[in-house]
Amino acid sequence: MIPKNIAARFILFAFLAYFLLACETPPQERKVIGPEEALKAVRTSAMPLLQDDMDAASLAFAIEQNIIYMTKAAPDSPFVYGKDSYLASDILEAQKELLNFLKLNPSMEQFAEMISGKFRFYKATGGIKADGKVLFTGYFEPEYEGRLEKDDVFRHPLHEMPDDIINVDLTRFGYDNKQIIIRVDGHRGVPYFSREEIVENGAIDGRGIEIAWLKDPVDVAFLQIQGSGRLRLEDGSTMRVGYAGKNGRPYHSIGNILIKEGHISKEDMSMQSIRAFLENNPDEVSRILNYNPSYIFFRELETPPVG
C-alpha cells in the first residue's frame, strides 16, 4: 500500500500477505527484470480489506521494525513500487501515522476505512510464471544453551575473529572481483586454518578469543550455517551472536556427502535428518563436520535482527 498523497505515503510488505489476489493474466513464462515489474497497482475496491482473524499486535510489530529500517535510510532515498517511486522520508512518515492509528485499537471497519482512504495498494505479480504466486520467506534465528566459561559439558567454542586473518583485495593487483583470506607464515601468505585445523588441532587455541561455549559440536556447526543465533545462558539471560567473518576456505555442504554416501536420501535431506544421523553415529561427527573446511567467526550482537 502507498498513500495517495505525499503527506501519507507508506509501504509495508507484510500487508501483501493479507491482500494478495490471484493474477488476472494467464500463466506464461517470463522473468521479472526490475522492481517496477514486481508489483502492480490495483484498485482499493479490489482488495479484501477486512480480516477478522488479523493479529493487530503482530502487524504493529512489523511496522515498528520497518520504521527502524527506514530510519537508517537517507531521507531522499527513492523506493520503487511498480511504476511509482516514493522517498524514504515520506514512507517513514506514513508508517508512523499508521502505527499511531493501530495504537488506538480501531475496529476492522475503522481500519479498512482508514487505509482505503489514505493508501494505495499493490499486489505482487508473481515469479518466473505470471501466476500470482509469491514465496514469502522468514528469518530463522536458532537458540542453543551456552556458557561464558568452559566446563566439562560446554566445551565447544564460538570464536571471535582472530587478529591474524588478512583480507587481500586482488583487484588492486589487476584481478577482477577477487578477494582472498590468508595468514602470514614466515615470509609467505598461506590459506587460513581449515575447520579441521581449528577444531581438531587447536590451531587458534590459547588466544582468548572464545566468546561462548556450547555443549554440542553439531550446534556450533549449525549456528555457523545459520550465521546468527541466541544463546541461553546459565543465569537465564540471552546472548545474541552474529556473523563476524570467515576463514576463507570454500563451503562444502555436509548434506551432500551424506547423500553421496547413501546415509540420507535427497528427498529426506534436512537439517533435522542431518542432526538425527550424527546423533545416532557419534563416531562420524568429526569426519562429517570437517568435510566442510569453511569456519565462521562470531561477534556479540547488541540489538535484534532488523528488516
Q: Could you tell me if residue 207 is inside a domain?
A: yes
Q: How much of the chain, in percent, has pLDDT values that exceed 90?
A: 50
Reported as a pLDDT band with limits 50, 70 and 90, residue 307 is very low
Reported as a pLDDT band with limits 50, 70 and 90, residue 212 is very high
Residues 154 and 79 grouped into a single domain = no
Q: Which residue has the higher pLDDT, 30 or 218?
A: 218
In this model, does residue 137 exceed pLDDT 70?
A: yes
Last residue of a domain, one of 124, 158, 174: 124
Q: Which residue has the higher pLDDT, 141 or 32?
A: 141
In this model, does residue 181 exceed pLDDT 90?
A: yes
Q: Could you tell me if residue 287 is inside a domain?
A: no
Q: What is the mean pLDDT of residues 62-86?
A: 87
Residues 6+ apart with CB under 8 A from 218: 275, 278, 279, 285, 289
Q: What is the mean pLDDT of residues 220-230?
A: 92
Residues 93 and 178 grouped into a single domain = no
In this model, does residue 211 exceed pLDDT 80?
A: yes
pLDDT tens digits for 245-293?
Answer: 999 999 999 999 999 999 999 999 999 999 999 999 999 999 999 999 9
Reported as a pLDDT band with limits 50, 70 and 90, residue 16 is very low
Taking the C-alpha atoms of residue 241 and residue 228, their distance in angstroms, rounded to an integer, is: 6
Range of the domain at 65: 2-124
Q: Return the pLDDT at 24.
A: 37
Reported as a pLDDT band with limits 50, 70 and 90, residue 109 is confident
Whether 192 and 183 have beta carbons less than 8 Å apart is answered as yes
Taking the C-alpha atoms of residue 231 and residue 184, their distance in angstroms, rounded to an integer, is: 33
Instruction: Kindly report the backbone phi and psi dihedral angles of residue 167, in degrees, each rounded to the nearest multiple of 5, phi listed first.
Output: -95, 120
Residues 174 and 80 grouped into a single domain = no
Q: Return the pLDDT at 294.
A: 95
| Residue carrying the nine cell digits 505479480 | 125
Q: Return the pLDDT at 14.
A: 37
Q: Which residue has the higher pLDDT, 155 or 171?
A: 155
Residues 241 and 152 grouped into a single domain = yes
Q: How do 143-145 and 228-232 pair as beta strands? A: parallel
The answer to whether the pTM exceeds 0.85 is: no
Q: Could you tell me if residue 205 is inside a domain?
A: yes
Q: Could you tell me if residue 20 is inside a domain?
A: yes
Residues 7 and 108 grouped into a single domain = yes
Containing H/E element for 285?
helix 285-290
Q: What is the mean pLDDT of residues 38-66?
A: 71
Reported as a pLDDT band with limits 50, 70 and 90, residue 13 is very low
| Relative orientation angle of helices 56-71 and 88-102, to the nearest 10 degrees | 150
Q: What is the mean pLDDT of residues 116-138?
A: 74
Q: What is the mean pLDDT of residues 155-163?
A: 97
Whether 7 and 97 have beta carbons less than 8 Å apart is answered as no
